[in-house]
A and B are shown apart, each in its own frame.
Chain A
Amino acid sequence: MNLLADKKIKRSQEPMASAATPDLDPGSQTAEAADRYMSRGSGPVARARTQVAAGLKPAAGLPDLKPMFEVQDLNLYYSKFQALKHINLTIPAHQVTAFIGPSGCGKSTLLRCFNRMNDLLEEVRIDGRILMDGRDLRGPQTDVVELRTKVGMVFQQPNPFPMSIFDNVAYGLRCQGIKDRVYLRQVVETSLKKAALYDEVKDELDKNATKLSGGQQQRLCIARAIALQPQVILMDEPTSALDPIATLKIEELMNDLKKEYTIVIVTHSMQQAARISDKTAFFLLGEVVEFDDTVTMFNNPSDKRTEDYISGRFG
């Protein structure tokens, strides 16, 4: 089948579909989706959905969560191209929030707004507000360097610095001028433990970090972010460059980490979103189509486009 052509058709139908959605009965939609799954057999999405449906997570959301970020009518332009359109979202604290959607839909762009990495790109224009603890992230009173110590980030490709494991984890603290060796040693140790890497590297902290395996490198990058005791960890497709076993380890790690940190993760894998996240936002062409509890989203999506995406019709 010509996937590209299929995608184009889908895109051209989208406005129509979105216009039609409110009129549709959500119940019939789910029934339709269920039928589709039956005919598809056991695809990966179907499996993910079965896991969710099997009651791995409570179906009810947690309504009284403290918000970490409040995104209010955010628009972002790359010179003339509008990458984000009127985004309104509330990211809850101590939860894993997943951003899903096809490539180029703006989910990574929004993620980078939370630690203002978009500042580094030229010709980026942003309007709207992002509140963190009630304060505007882009306001004059926010120190971007300090913000990035509170909002850590893990990238798609593991990017350890070509220096020792110890120096990698201590990097952020040293940048803040902390030189106390005992304290650094202690923080490096606890961070590596929290990132589930300590047992593997405890005897070779002087080893060059680039000699670690890909999965170890990514956990090192997580340890490096944790060392700064952030409130939030942003993850931009953290497992897309890793093998399944390394991916599993990182996913388990995220489950542990959400007790202490708020996690926002961009992922291309819907199973991953289903497995690890509490809330999921579905992005399409720079808009948030749907934002809900993961369980609700995967079992009972309220938008036709979400339905189509998570059932593998496109993207």
Chain B
Amino acid sequence: MNKSRRLKDGILNGLTWLSTAVAVAVLLLVFIFMFRRGWSDLSWDLITTDYWPQNLNVAFRQGEAGAYTAPADLAAGDSFSTLYGFALRDATDTKKAKTLIITYVDPDSPLESAYITTAGSQQGLNQAIHEDASVQMLYYQDEDGQQVLAGLLAGDDAASLVQKLDTGSVSIQSMYYQTAGGGIRGSILATLLLIGLTLVIVLPIGILAAVYLNEVAGRNRLTALLRQAIETLNGVPSIIFGLSGVVMLFPVTQLFGASGQSILLGALTMAVILLPVVIRQTEEALIVVPQSLRMGSLALGATRSQTIFKVVLPNALPGILTATLLSVSRVIGESAALIYTMSTVVTDNPKILQPATSLAVQIWQIMSSEQPDFKLASAVSLIILMMVLLLNLTVKLITRRLSRRWA
């Protein structure tokens, strides 16, 4: 090998190495950035609580005073109630009004034993009070057995309220407070509903269409044309499908009783977007199934459809699972088409025939509101990332198990 050849070789090798390094570095940076911004906002409460703040009247099953110790990491301005085991802080809400925010709740605190007393379907349900709830007013019982009102309505700030409670109360009776809100439970549910509905619509149609194109129809001009059309659909931007969904698919959802944007409309639109993907992936999985298996089945007196459903499709299952995974990832990540079809209004209790937001749309909604909350958006992104990761692993596991059973 002469010098110039060695040099060229070195440069080309270096280029491949460099490109890989850049790609890995960029991906790592994105992940690190997301984690740093979003990790602090990520909590179990974020996933399990409602988005809209709720005003609640609660009473306590065990409201008697106890003895609690303040946590070591209590912030400097916070007042800790040693009789009831929670910490309060003075704050101002988005409307610049004074609020009292609970910053810490001891696991054994009476606040954990709260239940709803507001009349309605939720009456009597346990409703433990969590951090970030803002206390409006509080009734406690003093040493003489009198009910005393405290809280914002009584003109208290954090320090004076805690002082009142810790010097001369025997138990707390009831509380009127506002939950923190900002949770994404509703959007997670809506996303899951959307994924489920989309798959139910797109998988049977897509798989059967692929079976027709690959197994039933011959390779002629018509199928070539159909294939070309499907390929073209694959390249159309999703926002166009979103627009056409509003016009063309809305009447379909009306048949089911929807009166406007709905999860069903979103799912139908996503199904239209994903149809080419599913057909394409399934076709590729079908092509890989050895011809000798089809021949073997037919030679045993199986009909064509028996051959397809008993031999060909089971063997194409790993590929079909990949198609499913791709579809789910697309549904989780899609926002443009869903803004029109599912609305941007966050819903806490999503229903199929009512508007809701998926997680991706909620990110869009968080960032396009008057006060973009980048940390919250990052936290939601992290959740999406985790969902996709989990899904990937599940499908890999299933595929491996299937191929172990068959190969």
| A contact residues vs B (CB 8 Å cutoff) | 115, 117, 120, 122, 145-146, 148-149, 152-153, 155, 157, 159-163, 171-172, 175-176, 208, 210, 221, 224-225, 228
A159 in contact with B293 (CB, 8 Å): yes
- Tell me, yes or no, whether B256 is within 8 Å of chain A by CB: no
Q: Which residues of B contact A208 (CB under 8 A)?
A: 405-407
Interface string of B282-318 (1 = CB under 8 A from A): 0000000010110111111111001000110011000
Known: A171-B310, A175-B310. Is A159-B292 also a contact (CB below 8 A)? yes
Distance A159 CA – B290 CA, assembled complex (angstroms) = 9
Which A residues lie within 8 Å of B219 (CB)?
A: 122
**Chain A: CB-nearest residue to B299:** A153
Q: A148-B301, A159-B296, A208-B405 are in contact. List 15 more A-B contacts (CB 8 A).
A: A117-B298, A120-B298, A122-B218, A145-B301, A145-B303, A146-B301, A148-B298, A148-B300, A149-B300, A153-B299, A155-B299, A157-B292, A162-B293, A171-B310, A224-B296
Q: Which residues of chain A have C-beta atoms less than 8 A from B299's C-beta?
A: 115, 117, 148, 152-153, 155, 225
| Given A161-B293, A161-B311: A210 in contact with B300 (beta carbons within 8 A) | no
How many angstroms from the CA of A160 to the CA of B299 in the assembled complex? 12
The docked-state distance in angstroms from the alpha carbon of A224 to that of B302 is 12
- Indicate whether A162 sits within 8 Å of B406 (C-beta atoms), given known contacts A117-B295, A155-B295: yes
Residues of chain A contacted by B297 (CB below 8 angstroms)? 161, 171, 175
Q: Which residue of B lies closest to A172 (CB)?
A: B300
Known contacts: A161-B293, A161-B296, A162-B407. The answer to whether A228 contacts B218 by CB under 8 A is no
B-chain residues with CB within 8 Å of residue A117 when the two chains form the complex: 295, 298-299
Chain B residues engaging chain A, CB cutoff 8 angstroms = 218-219, 290, 292-293, 295-303, 306, 310-311, 314-315, 405-407
Smallest CB gap from A230: residue in B: B301
Count of CB-CB pairs between chains A and B under 8 Å: 70
Q: Which residues of A contact B298 (CB under 8 A)?
A: 117, 120, 148
Contact A162 B315 (CB under 8 A): yes
Contacts known (A162-B406, A208-B405); A175 close to B301, Cβ less than 8 A = yes
Chain B interface, DSSP helix/strand/loop, else mixed: helix
Min CB gap B301→A, angstroms: 4
Contacts of B302 in A (CB 8 A): 145, 171-172, 175
- B292 contacts which chain A residues (CB < 8 A)? 155, 157, 159
Residue of B nearest to A225 (CB): B300
A-B interface, 8 closest residue pairs, ranked by CB to CB distance from nearest: A149-B301, A162-B406, A172-B300, A159-B292, A153-B299, A175-B302, A159-B296, A148-B301
In the complex, how many angstroms separate the beta carbon of A207 from the nearest chain B beta carbon?
11
In the complex, what residues of B have CB within 8 A of residue A224's CB? 296, 300
The chain A residue sitting closest to B303, CB to CB, is A145
Please determine whether B306 and A175 come into contact, CB atoms closer than 8 angstroms.
Answer: yes
Give CA–CA (A190, B314) in the complex, Å. 28
Residue of A nearest to B307 (CB): A175
Report the separation of the CA atoms of residues A172 and B310 in the bound assembly, to the nearest whole angstrom.
11
Residues of A within 8 A of B303 (CB): 145, 175
**A159 & B295 in contact (Cβ 8 Å cutoff):** yes
Which residues of A are found within 8 Å of B310, using beta-carbon distances?
Answer: 171, 175
Nearest residue (CB) in B for A149 is B301
Instruction: Please determine whether A221 and B315 come into contact, CB atoms closer than 8 angstroms.
Output: no
CB contacts (< 8 Å) of B295 on chain A: these are: 117, 120, 155, 159
Could you tell me if A210 and B407 are in contact, using CB atoms closer than 8 angstroms? yes
Q: How far is the CB of B155 from the nearest CB of chain A, in Å?
A: 78
List the B side residues contacting A155 at CB < 8 Å.
Answer: 292, 295-296, 299
Q: How far is the CB of A172 from chain B (nearest CB, A)?
A: 4
Are the C-beta atoms of A163 and B406 separated by less than 8 Å?
yes
> Closest Cβ of chain A: how far from B290's Cβ, in Å?
7
Q: In chain A, what residue has the closest Cβ to B404?
A: A208
Tell me, in angstroms, the Cα distance from A224 to B296 when the chains sit together: 10
Q: Which chain B residues lie closer than 8 Å to A162 at the CB level?
A: 293, 314-315, 406-407
Query: Can you give 19 contacting A-B residue pairs, CB < 8 Å?
Result: A117-B295, A117-B299, A145-B302, A148-B298, A148-B299, A148-B300, A149-B300, A149-B301, A155-B296, A157-B292, A159-B290, A159-B292, A161-B297, A163-B314, A163-B406, A171-B297, A175-B303, A210-B407, A224-B300
On whether the beta carbons of B300 and A228 are closer than 8 Å, the reply is yes
In the complex, what distance in Å separates the CA atom of A146 from the CA atom of B301? 6
What residue in chain A is nearest B220 (Cβ atoms)?
A122
Q: How far in angstroms is the closest Cβ of chain B from A147?
A: 8
In the complex, A224→B293 CA distance in Å?
A: 13
CB distance from A124 to the nearest CB of B (A): 12
CB neighbours (8 Å) of B296 from chain A are 155, 159-161, 221, 224
B78 to chain A, nearest CB (A): 65
A195 to B232, CA, bound (A): 52
Q: By the criterion CB–CB under 8 Å, are A176 and B407 in contact?
A: no
Cβ of A192 to closest chain B Cβ, rounded Å: 15
The CB with the most chain A CB atoms within 10 A, among B290, B299, B405, B407, is that of B299
Given contacts A122-B218, A155-B295, A161-B311, contact A171 B407 (CB under 8 A): no
User: Is the CB–CB distance between A175 and B300 below 8 Å?
Assistant: yes
| Most chain B CB within a 10 A radius of its CB, from A117, A155, A159, A208 | A159
- Which residues does chain B contribute within 8 Å of A159, judged by CB atoms? 290, 292-293, 295-296
**A159-B297 Cα distance, complex, nearest whole Å:** 9
